[in-house]
Amino acid sequence: MTRRTPFLLRASPDLLTGLRLALAPVLYLLIVGGRGDAAAACLALAMVTDALDGPLARHFGVASRAGAHFDFWADFVLIEAVFSAFAMSGAGPWAIPLLTAIAFGFFVATVRLTPAIYDPIGRNIGGILMGSAFSVLALRDLLVAQAAFMVALGALTLTLCARAAFVAGAVRRSAP
Amino acid sequence: MVRLMRRILAAVVIVLVAAGVALAWLNWRVHQETVTPLETLNSGGTAGRVLAVLSPGLSSFPADVMTAFDKGLAEKGWRVDHTTASSEATTDIGAYDLIVLAAPVYFSRAAPPLQDYVGRVGDFGGKQIAVLVTAGGDPAEAVAATKALIAAHNGTLAWIYGYAVYEPNDPDGKYEGSNTERAVRMAHDAALALAGTLP
C-alpha cells in the first residue's frame, strides 16, 4: 500500500512559481525606489524558486504541461519587471525588456515547429537574464551593470538568431 | 544528469566569456573622452559665471543630474558654460566664479576623463568647486576620493554630493518620483541653495 503525497507538497512547485510571479511587482518597486539590497535579496529568492519548482514537480510526480507553462510565464513576467525597472531608472536600456518580449513571443509562436533543438543559451535564457540582473543589484557598480546589460542583450540576440535559423530550417524541411 | 551538467556548464562558460569581453570593452570605453562644444545656458546671467564640466559615462543619469544642477544655477541668474571632460575642454578657468564637475563612479572612483581633466587644469587657484558624482551603490568612497582629488589640485570645495541608482537618494521622502527622478530634483534644489550661499 502506498501513502499519498500530502496536497501541500504536491502543490509546492506551483506555489513556488506563484511566489516568483508575486515577487515581480515587488522587485519593480524596489528597483525603481533605489532599494538595491532588498531587490537583490528578492531576486535571489525568485532564482531559488526557479531552480526548485521543476525538480520538485518531477520528484512529487506532478510535472505537467500546464505547470511548465506557468513556470515559463512567471519567468517572463519577472524578467520583464526587473529590466523595465532598470530602464525606468535610466540605468538600463529599454532594448532588453523589448527584446525579451520579442524572444518569449517568438518562442511561444514557434515552439511546435522546433520542439527539440539544442540551444544552450536559449534553454538557459531565463537563468542568464536573472543572473545578469542579480549581478547588477548585488554588486551595484555602474560598469559591472553595463557589462551585465551587454551580456543580457547579447544572449537575447543570440538566442533569437539561433531560434530564427532553426525555425527557417524547420519550415524549409516541411515545405513540399 | 551528465547532460544537464554539460548544458549548465556550456551556459556558464558562454556567460563568463561574454561578461569578460563586455567588461574589457567597457573599461576601454569609460576611458574614452567625449568631445562637445562649449554651450551656454542663460548667456545674459549676471549673478556669476560657471564652467560646468561633465564626464557623461555610459548612461543618461550623470547628464540628467548635471543638467538639473545647471538649470538651478541659471534660474538664480548665473551664466553657465557647459562642456564635457576632454582634452579639448577649456582649462582657462580664470573668468569663472564656480567650477561644476560631474561624473559617474566606476569601481569607487569618478570616471577617468574627469580625473584627467582635473589633472590638465593642474591648479584651480583656490576657485570654488561643486562636484556631483553618480554611483550604482553607496557613493561615500567616491565622494571621499574626489574630495582628496580637488584638495590636491588647490580647489575650494563649495559643495559635493553623491547620487545613487540602487541606494535611496531621498530617505526622508521629501521628493516624488523614482529614485533617479528624486536625484535630479535634489540636484536642482541643491543648485538653488548653493547659488544663494556663494559670494
Query: What is the total count of domains within chain A?
Result: 1
Better-scored residue on pLDDT, B23 or A131: A131
Chain B CB contacts of A148 under 8 Å are 19
Chain B CB contacts of A133 under 8 Å are none
A143 touches chain B (CB under 8 A): yes
Those residues with Cβ within 8 angstroms of residue A171's Cβ, 6 or more apart along the chain or in another chain? A113
- Asked whether residue A34 is domain-assigned, the answer is yes
Report the pLDDT value the prediction gives residue B97, as an integer from 0 to 100: 95
Identify the closest residue of chain A to B138 by CA–CA distance.
Answer: A140
Report the pLDDT value the prediction gives residue B42, as an integer from 0 to 100: 96
Report the pLDDT value the prediction gives residue A38, as an integer from 0 to 100: 97
Between the two ends of chain A, the Cα-to-Cα distance in Å is 55
The 10s digit of each residue's pLDDT in A108-142 is 888 776 655 555 556 678 888 999 999 999 999 99
Instruction: List the single range of A62-71, A127-136, B70-79 with lowest mean pLDDT.
Output: A62-71
Closest C-alpha to B118, from B133, B106, B129: B129
Q: Do A120 and B14 touch (CB under 8 A)?
A: yes
Residue B126 has pLDDT above 80, yes or no: yes
Report, as an integer, the average pLDDT of B49-65: 95
Among B11, B14, B165, whose Cβ lies nearest the Cβ of A91? Answer: B165
Those residues with Cβ within 8 angstroms of residue B51's Cβ, 6 or more apart along the chain or in another chain? B81, B83, B90, B93, B96, B98, B99, B100
Q: Do A146 and B14 touch (CB under 8 A)?
A: no
Instruction: List the single range of A32-36, A99-103, A108-112, B46-50 with lowest mean pLDDT.
Output: A108-112
Q: Confirm if B16 and A132 have CB atoms less than 8 A apart.
A: no
Residues belonging to chain B = 199
Q: Do A140 and B167 touch (CB under 8 A)?
A: yes
Nearest Cα of chain B lies from the Cα of A65 at a distance, in angstroms, of: 20
Domain containing residue A101: 8-174
- CATH number of the domain residue A163 falls in: 1.20.120.1760
Domain boundaries, chain B: 1-30, 39-197
Residue A1 has pLDDT above 70, yes or no: no
Report, as an integer, the average pLDDT of A49-58: 88
Report the pLDDT value the prediction gives residue A162, as an integer from 0 to 100: 85
The 10s digit of each residue's pLDDT in A83-114 is 999 999 988 999 999 999 998 888 888 877 66
What is the interface pTM, i.e. ipTM, of the complex? 0.85
Q: Confirm if A18 and A78 have CB atoms less than 8 A apart.
A: no
Q: Per CATH, the architecture of B39-197 is what? A: 3-Layer(aba) Sandwich (3.40)
- Asked whether residue A3 is domain-assigned, the answer is no
Q: Do B107 and A143 touch (CB under 8 A)?
A: yes
Chain B CB contacts of A161 under 8 Å are none
The 10s digit of each residue's pLDDT in B155-193 is 999 999 999 999 999 988 999 999 999 999 999 999 999
CA distance B191 to B69: 5
Nearest Cα of chain B lies from the Cα of A39 at a distance, in angstroms, of: 9
Residue B43 has pLDDT above 60, yes or no: yes
Chain B CB contacts of A35 under 8 Å are 166, 168
